[in-house]
Each structure stands twice: as C-alpha cells, then as structure tokens.
C-alpha cells in the first residue's frame, strides 16, 4: 500500500483483564486518522494461563472460546470480541496481521517417557551425556475442545526437544531421539544449531506436523478473515518448512497475503540468506536498523549519522524491510531489551516514516506508553505529526544530504497528487542547518517546522534552495507554512 504504516497494536505488559480487544475498538478512529493501514495483533490463541501474552501457545485452535488453562478468554479477551474488533478494523479499510507462534508449544496436558540426549546449551550439536529415557511434557489432548475444528493430538513424536526431565527434575536442553529425529538443519547457526528456543520444541520436519500446521493456518485465516501473518521466532524454524508453509499460504490466499517474519539477527548476510532461502515471500523486521538506532541513541551525539542505514535490511532490499524503532521484545524488562533513548526516538521515527524506503511500523508502547516495572511514556502527539506528514505529504523522489557525521537531511519532492515538498533535517549535536534544493517554483515561499522543535521560518531563495535547520539533538520537518497536515 502506498505510504502504508503498520501499527504494532500491543506491548508486553498489558493488563491481564481481558479488555484488550474492547479497548482497541476505542482506538481505531485515531489510528485511522493518523494514517495506519495495517494493525499487527498479538498472538490470539490460548496460552498457558490467562496472563500468557500468547508466546507460550497451548492450543492454536482456541481463540478464547473454550475453558482451558483456567480461563475461557485469553489475556486479550474472547473469540467473539476478537471477531468484533477485526470486523471494525476492516470497516475502516485497515488490514489485520495476526502474530503466529509456530516454534514451540507450552502447557502440555500430560507427560510421556521417551529416549533423549542432553546437549551442550552453548553448542547444541554436542552431546554431554549418554542417551537415556526421560519424561517430558509433550502430550497435548485439548479435552475441553472435544475435537472441534481439529482432532489432531500432539505427542513426543511431533517434537524434537524439551528442557525438563520429570523423572529426575533435571533441567537443560534434551534432544528427543527416534527414527528420522534430530535438530532441523535449516535454522540459525548460533549455538551450533538454534532450533531449540524454549518450551516443547516443534519438529517441523515431521510430515504430520507440517500438514497440521498448514491445515490450521487455512482455518485461522478463514475464521478471522486475516490479511497477513507476523511469524514469530523464524530463525529457530526450519527455513525449508517456512518456504513450504508460506508458498501454501500464497497459493491459497493469493500473493497479496502479507507475511512478516521476526528474524532477530542483526547480521545482514544472515538476513540476505534467509530472504533467498524463502524465495522472498517473507518480509523481515529490520533488526539491524533497530540496533543502529539504539547505538546512536546511546552515543552522546557521537554517532556517524551518514551510516545509520548500514547493515540494515532496508538498504539491502527496500520492499522486504519492515522498519521499526522498538517493539515488545526490545522494551525495558525484556530479555532483548534495547530501548532507544527518548531524545533520539522522534529522530528514529522520522527516519522510518518520512523516507521512501521500507514499510514503517509504529510500536504501541511508543504511541501509548508501556506498563510493567519499567514503564515508559508514549509520544502520541509527536508520532501523530510524523505519521500525518507521511500520509499526506511525504511522496515522490528523494534527495539526500548526508554530508556530516552529526547532520543529515533529505527532501521529498512530492508527486502529481501530493504536490507539497517536505524537507527534513536531523542534528544530533548543536543547532545546524543544511542548504537543500526544494524544487522549481518555490522562490519566496516560507517554510515552517511542523514538529514544533524549531521556531524559525525559512524563506526559499532565488535558486529554490532553503537553509533548513534543526535544533540540538532533534529533527525538524519543514513544509510550506500554512499547509494542513
């Protein structure tokens, strides 16, 4: 979608009150007004208990419909409330992407005994004990659901790793043994083989598993009328399976069905390889760019802004990069905490929202604030301005002025439908300016900074250039004075 904006519609520490779906209904009008074109919902399947964020998935077919794990609702609400929300989103011509967690299962109904071998947590290819019988939580029967939607039952054959032996109380990483068993090979090579992440690890090489997950995905999309998936933890999922899975989805629902993957690796070569291995059917969260933002925000103004897009997917493949500043994994209190410092956050959002490359994602926690022990304030007013500039004005060709380490800028020249020019300047040290060409026919026009960060007014000179400035450690977004956002 032209100048689309994805909104990650949740943060990690939302309250466990079951009101999320109802609360989101009240936010849709303002999200539509600011220019949001797709909303990424949290994992909506039943987890291990009512406060499970959905990343500990128990029953993929239970969307808040069955009394399982001590609750009918999920953390976010009931299935009926979910459907009501999705319908309301679609009424506003906004797409819906669901977060999908297919790497592991959690909260098994029963334990089973099977042969396994303990491996080195730092190199999962190395066995550190002799094979032995262990007892793992691998039986998933979903009795309360009574085979509604699917009669598939999971057992130890459908998994290849667990982290606990019920027989001995021993903790660690155990690789399940058996015919054609082993770690999947087409996964991240961190820790030797990063197939195992957590809980009970799904074996994506098992033919019954592959068919069941494809069957579930069809049901899930049809049941909720989804427009796309955000796939969790894909560097731990066999890329051969992912290629088969995404090809199946595209064949069933068309090439416009959007698939976004969380490949949490800042190594650009690894991202490039993954894109190729999955035949470019999956867009990737631009983790490298996020870490650039994080580093710049902690640099004390000593980051070379000319390199801000180095090692970023958006520089490698502009159509397969979902650019983001922060998300639920990077927010304070999380294991991957790398939260961009407040002074740089508006700058970072300007860098993803006002340029022509990438598909920008705004984080719920940056817009409304985050909860938990390390709560943060949102920046709704600032993001509204940047998003509306993108929605209404930031179009057309782009000229970059990346000339100094602490000072960069660019001009968007507009198109036939969006004729206004947008000039952006970022300074991470003192107040500075850049002389930039705005375009023919601009002589004498007066430009203002619509962020409100700089109160100067800029008059375009006789050569159609403006001396556009930014205050210390800030971004300025210059449009013709009087333009309506």
Question: Catalytic residue positions?
Answer: 232, 262
DSSP state letter for 376: B
Q: For 30, list phi and psi in degrees, rounded to 5.
A: -70, -30
Q: Are 35 and 391 in contact (CB under 8 A)?
A: yes
| CA separation for the pair 483, 450 (Å, rounded) | 9
CB atoms within 10 A of CB 347: 24
List residues bridging with 363 in a β-sheet: 8
Q: Are 323 and 350 in contact (CB under 8 A)?
A: no
- E strands, 166-212, in order: 170-176, 200-202
Q: Interhelix angle for 207-224 vs 79-91, to 10°?
A: 60
Please name which of 280, 262, 281 lies closest in space to residue 272, comparing C-alpha atoms.
Answer: 280
| CA separation for the pair 307, 60 (Å, rounded) | 42
Q: What does the H/E/C string look like for 466-483? A: EEEEECCCEEEEEEECCC
CB atoms within 10 A of CB 142: 23
| CA separation for the pair 466, 30 (Å, rounded) | 34
In whole angstroms, what separates CA 348 from the centre of its chain? Answer: 16
Q: Interhelix angle for 268-277 vs 239-253, to 10°?
A: 50
Q: Are 183 and 196 in contact (CB under 8 A)?
A: yes
**Any residues with CB less than 8 A from the CB of 228 and at least 6 apart, and which?**
38, 95, 96, 97, 98, 257, 258, 259, 260
């Amino acid at each position: 979608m032209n100048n689309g904006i994805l909104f990650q519609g949740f943060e990690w520490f939302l309250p466990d009150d079951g009101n999320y779906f109802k609360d989101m209904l009240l936010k849709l009008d303002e999200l539509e007004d600011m220019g949001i074109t797709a909303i990424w919902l949290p994992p909506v399947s039943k987890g291990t208990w009512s406060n499970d964020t959905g990343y500990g998935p128990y029953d993929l077919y239970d969307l808040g419909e069955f009394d399982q794990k001590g609750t009918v609702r999920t953390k976010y609400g009931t299935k009926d409330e979910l459907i009501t929300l999705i319908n309301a989103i679609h009424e506003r011509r906004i797409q819906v992407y669901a977060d999908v967690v297919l790497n592991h299962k959690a909260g098994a109904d029963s334990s089973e005994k099977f042969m396994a071998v303990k491996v080195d947590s730092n190199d999962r290819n190395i066995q550190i004990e002799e094979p032995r019988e262990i007892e793992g939580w691998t039986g998933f029967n979903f009795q309360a659901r009574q085979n509604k939607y699917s009669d598939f039952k999971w057992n130890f054959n459908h998994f290849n790793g667990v982290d606990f032996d019920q027989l001995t109380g021993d903790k660690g990483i155990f690789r399940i043994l058996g015919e054609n068993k082993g770690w999947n090979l087409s996964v991240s090579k961190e820790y030797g083989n990063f197939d195992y992440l957590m809980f009970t690890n799904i074996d994506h090489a098992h033919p019954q598993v592959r068919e069941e997950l494809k069957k579930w995905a069809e049901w899930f999309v049809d049941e909720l009328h989804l427009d796309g998936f955000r796939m969790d933890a894909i560097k731990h999922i066999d890329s051969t399976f992912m290629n088969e899975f995404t090809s199946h989805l595209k064949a069933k629902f068309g090439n416009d069905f959007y698939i976004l993957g969380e490949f949490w690796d800042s190594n650009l070569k690894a991202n490039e390889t993954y894109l190729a291995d999955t035949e470019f059917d999956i867009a990737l969260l631009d983790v490298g760019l996020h870490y650039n933002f994080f580093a710049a925000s902690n640099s004390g103004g000593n980051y070379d802004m000319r390199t801000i897009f180095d090692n970023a997917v958006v520089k490698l493949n502009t159509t397969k990069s979902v650019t983001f500043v922060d998300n639920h994994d990077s927010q304070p209190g999380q294991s991957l905490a790398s939260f961009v410092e407040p002074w740089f956050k508006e700058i970072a959002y300007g860098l993803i929202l006002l340029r022509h490359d990438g598909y920008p994602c705004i984080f719920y926690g940056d817009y409304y604030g985050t909860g938990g022990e390390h709560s943060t304030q949102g920046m709704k007013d600032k993001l509204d301005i940047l998003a509306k500039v993108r929605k209404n004005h930031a179009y057309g060709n782009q000229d970059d002025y990346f000339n100094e380490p602490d000072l960069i800028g660019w001009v968007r020249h507009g198109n036939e439908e969006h004729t206004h020019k947008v000039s952006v300047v970022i300074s991470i040290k003192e107040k500075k300016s850049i002389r930039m060409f705005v375009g023919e026919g601009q002589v004498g026009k007066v430009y203002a900074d619509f962020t409100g960060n700089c109160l100067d007014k800029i008059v375009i000179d006789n050569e159609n250039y403006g001396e556009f400035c930014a205050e210390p450690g800030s971004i300025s977004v210059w449009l013709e004075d009087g333009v309506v956002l």
